[in-house]
Chains A and B, each alone.
Chain A
């Protein structure tokens, strides 16, 4: 069974631009979560989607948005990029939203904002 796939692996953007990251979950998994990882802040929860609906949202500005499609694939978008948005963005999938589910992570998208 294929794992969680994130594309692209690396991105370089400039301030003010926007970016879209993609995540394909493990087949059959309906929950997709996004995390931002920076050296100083660790993993920060962005949002979670289940069956095309946003279930939870972290404390990020409205420039960060996401969506989930009917095949459970998910995208996140960051508009008006800032230098501080440089980070590793991780996507994780699980079968359901139950709290005893373990998360399966992709390898992440490394975003650099210049």
Chain B
């Protein structure tokens, strides 16, 4: 499968804690993106990391990419209740194709 697979499927933390989720894939990729989805709504783009990059930051988000292990991680620091959502990785294979999404990690941040 060309889809990314997120791990864990669900994560429950308290406000102020860090949340880490991982995405593994099987093919070589052009880039990898992370998206957030609030309950029953559309997805919102968070960050893109290219295949030649190892780490990117955006606000409280930190994304790493290890192409040798075919995996990426998303770290949310100092979580807030508003971070409660599902998080998806989306990858673009380096062959012809379109974004392939995983099943997502559901994150619940309790006050």
Residues of A with Cβ closer than 8 Å to B? 4, 33, 35, 41-43, 45, 48, 55-56, 88, 90, 92, 99-100, 102-108, 110
Q: Which of B42, B92, B97 contacts A107 (CB 8 A)?
A: B42
Please provide the 4 A-B residue pairs with the shortest distance between their CB atoms, ordered closest to farther: A105-B42, A42-B103, A43-B101, A99-B92
**Complex contacts, B98 vs chain A, CB 8 Å:** 33, 45, 48, 55-56
A-binding residues in B (CB < 8 A):
3, 30-31, 33, 35, 40-45, 48, 50, 88, 90, 92, 96-104
A-B contact count (CB 8 A): 57
B30 touches which one: A42, A55, A99, A108 (CB < 8 A)? A99
**Cβ contacts under 8 Å, B31 to chain A:** 99-100
Q: Are A105 and B88 in contact (CB under 8 A)?
A: no
**B-chain residues with CB within 8 Å of residue A103 when the two chains form the complex:** 33, 35, 43, 45, 90, 99
Chain B residues positioned under 8 Å from A99 (CB to CB): 30-31, 92
Closest CB of chain B to A33's CB: distance in Å? 6
Interface of A is mostly: strand
